[in-house]
């Protein structure tokens, strides 16, 4: 834990390859947490053919059925790529230790409020 101005405390955790059983064999995923709450979730495509073959085998996928896909990585047609999604309002809520995410939004919406 770290102390920030005003006496608030926070902790940031970066976790790799979380729950890979629910993700496709061709991704490495990650999550970032503040105070135990997920704020960012993302994935990176695996671009190493040997690693892809290993992961496919672990998932029961015959590599011959995805040979064209595998070749795209063997011959450099597919550059490394990935992405993530972050909830800015959630980050602000957790960073400031607010008790409700609606306090971070200029125009909060929920099932009972659709207009500002």
pLDDT value of position 2: 47
pLDDT (tens, 9 = 90+) of the chain, 116 residues, equals: 444 455 556 677 778 875 566 677 888 888 888 777 888 889 998 889 999 999 888 888 999 999 999 999 999 888 888 999 988 898 888 888 899 888 998 888 888 877 76
CA distances from 79 to 19, 45, 63, 73 (A): 25, 9, 20, 8
Do the domain assignments include residue 113? Answer: no
pLDDT value of position 1: 47
Do the domain assignments include residue 67? Answer: yes
Domains of the chain: total: 1
pTM of the full structure:
0.63
Do the domain assignments include residue 115? Answer: no
Centroid of chain to Cα 29: 6
Do the domain assignments include residue 87? Answer: yes
Query: Structure tokens of 113?
Result: 């409020």
pLDDT value of position 17: 72
Do the domain assignments include residue 108? Answer: no
Do the domain assignments include residue 71? Answer: yes
User: What's the rounded Cα separation, in Å, for the pair 15 and 42?
Assistant: 11
What is the domain extent for residue 41?
2-96
Query: Structure tokens of 22?
Result: 């629910």
């Amino acid at each position: 834990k770290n102390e920030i101005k005003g006496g608030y405390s926070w902790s940031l955790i970066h976790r790799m390859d979380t729950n890979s059983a629910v993700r496709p064999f061709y991704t490495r995923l990650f999550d970032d947490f503040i105070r135990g709450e997920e704020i960012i979730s993302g994935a990176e495509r695996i671009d190493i053919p040997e690693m892809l073959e290993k992961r496919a085998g672990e998932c029961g996928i015959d590599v011959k059925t995805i040979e064209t896909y595998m070749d795209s990585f063997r011959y450099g047609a597919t550059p490394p790529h990935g992405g993530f999604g972050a909830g800015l309002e959630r980050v602000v809520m957790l960073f400031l230790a607010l008790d409700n995410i609606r306090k971070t939004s200029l125009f909060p919406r929920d099932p009972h409020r659709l207009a500002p």
